[in-house]
Amino acid sequence: MDFQKVLDKVAPQVLSVAVINLDNIAYNYHKVEDVLAKGAIASAVVKGNSYGFGAVPISKRLYKEGCRNFFVATIDEGIEIRNTLPDENVKIFVLSGVFENTEDILLKYKLVPVLNNWIQADLWVKKAKTLNKKLDVAVHVDTGMSRNGFLEEDEHHSLSDILNNLNLLFVMSHLACADDVSSEMNKKQLERFKVALKKFGNPVSCLSATNGIFLGKDYQFDMVRPGKAIYGFCIREDMIGVVKPVMDIFSRIVQVNHLKKGDTIGYGSTFTAPRDMTSITIGIGYSDGFMRKFSGFGCGFLGGKRLPMVGRISMDYITLDASEVDEKYLKLGNWVALTHSPDYTVEKWALELGTIPHEITCRLGSRVEKIYIGNDDL
């Protein structure tokens, strides 16, 4: 895609941008729907500010595409989505559940807590009894992740406490090793989940996030929770090509330097010029989410050339070797692409860094202006 028309509209004082393609968000959501078993529906995980992509515009577009079930991590995230999507047909599920003195705010914004333990169950049941009303709820059972979720009944509690006093919308769990199709843990958790469902009377069920969805229809149940697939991340080789990249990151040139052999670059002088060379400094750094430990990894793209990162990443700047770039491109204010879809995506960069792509996007700072394309109807 030619981004120049988009970049030409950016205010001159803005040094870094993330261009987010909402049409590809829609495409990816529907691609998930295409692989689902008959009767299964796709929700959307929009926690963490939609993985750093921006929860408000992402949720608006997904709503337009027919999504009516959204997952967030916290109540404040849920409030933001509810203010964006006031339609009462929209269900917003708070994965962290209910805590003491949060019951009223959950009800005010029509947020549904996902209960993770008996303490939360007691709080929500107590509120339901006070109101003499069965309140909506979802339940998370732990099938092997050992993070969140109910383990089993104890001498003080019974599942009937939930079933008799609350309106159970679904039971969910979360797979620990779904990124590895050969992991035996997937099958173990699947069987444990089926056992748990029987205890609840076989309610509506929701097991899989993105990786689990692509394990096959046995893992899809009634509803799935795609997150990274919506944002264009494949993770597993068998998913490559299924979804489209959504984000590209650009930063402006703020300095051009012509170095002599032996000159050094950056804090600690960790890079020494092996020859006479040209370097450029771009206006993005660890304050913008590009961690210092990423130094020496990744690259930029300018004038059809790939520019290696050299020296340490600092708070506001990254330095690139621009020796192979035609001088006509080396002007202050010109844009350098840090990702270049489809050839060098956030995901491919993450693989080089030894991390996951959504760690990069979640870290993007406020100085990186988000620009949305494909959002004419929002």
Residue 47 annotated as catalytic: yes
Domain coverage including residue 40 = 36-233
Question: Is there a domain that residue 12 lies in?
Answer: no
pLDDT at 94: 99
Alpha-carbon gap, residue 378 to 137, rounded angstroms? 31
CB–CB of 300/309 below 8 Å?
yes
Among 233, 256, 280, give the residue marking a domain's end. 233
> Is 99 a member of any domain?
yes
| Tokens 């009767």 found at | 39
Shared domain check, 71 and 48: yes
Q: 135 and 50 in one domain?
A: yes
| Domain end among 206, 233, 260 | 233
27 domain residue, yes or no: no
CATH number of the domain residue 300 falls in: 2.40.37.10
366 in a structural domain: yes
- Active-site residue, selected from the candidate residues 29, 47, 51, 286: 47
Q: Quick one: 201 and 296 in the same domain?
A: no
- The reply to whether 17 falls in a domain is no
Looking at residue 375, what is its pLDDT?
66
Where on the phi/psi map is residue 268: left (φ > 0), alpha (ψ -120 to 50), or beta?
left
Cβ pair 368, 276 in contact under 8 A: no
Residue 23 lies in a domain: no
**What pLDDT does 219 receive?**
98
199/279 same-domain check: no
How would you classify the pairing of strands 135-140 and 166-172? parallel
- The CATH number assigned to the domain holding 151 equals 3.20.20.10
Within a domain: 112: yes
Same domain, 125 and 221: yes
| 303 & 177 share domain | no
Tell whether 315 and 172 lie within a shared domain: no
- Catalytic site includes residue 267: yes
Out of 108, 267, 293, 331, pick the active-site residue: 267
∠ CA 247-253-254, nearest 5°, is 130
Bridge partners, residue 69, by sequence: 91
pLDDT at 296: 82
pLDDT by residue for the chain (378 residues), tens digit each?
679 999 999 999 999 999 999 999 999 999 999 999 999 999 999 999 999 999 999 999 999 999 999 999 999 999 999 999 999 999 999 999 999 999 999 999 999 999 999 999 999 999 999 999 999 999 999 999 999 999 776 667 888 889 999 999 999 999 999 999 999 999 999 999 999 999 999 999 999 999 999 999 999 999 999 999 999 998 677 677 789 999 999 999 999 999 999 999 999 999 999 999 999 999 999 999 998 988 888 899 999 999 999 999 999 999 999 999 999 999 999 999 999 888 889 998 888 888 899 999 999 999 999 999 996 644
Task: Output the six-digit token pair for 137.
Answer: 């709820």
Same domain, 190 and 135: yes
**Number of separate domains in the chain:** 2
The CA distance from 222 to 202, in Å, is 11
Same domain? 162 vs 256? no
Q: Give yes or no for a contact between 28 and 234, defined as CB atoms under 8 angstroms apart.
A: no
Last residue of a domain, one of 233, 262, 291: 233
Read off the tokens for 91: 């269900």
Are residues 79 and 226 both part of a single domain? yes
Per-residue confidence (pLDDT) for residue 293, from 0 to 100: 85
Q: Quick check: 111 and 92 in contact, CB under 8 A?
A: yes
In a domain, 87, yes or no: yes
Q: What pLDDT does residue 234 have?
A: 80
| Same structural domain, 130 and 220 | yes
My answer on whether 279 and 194 are in the same domain is no
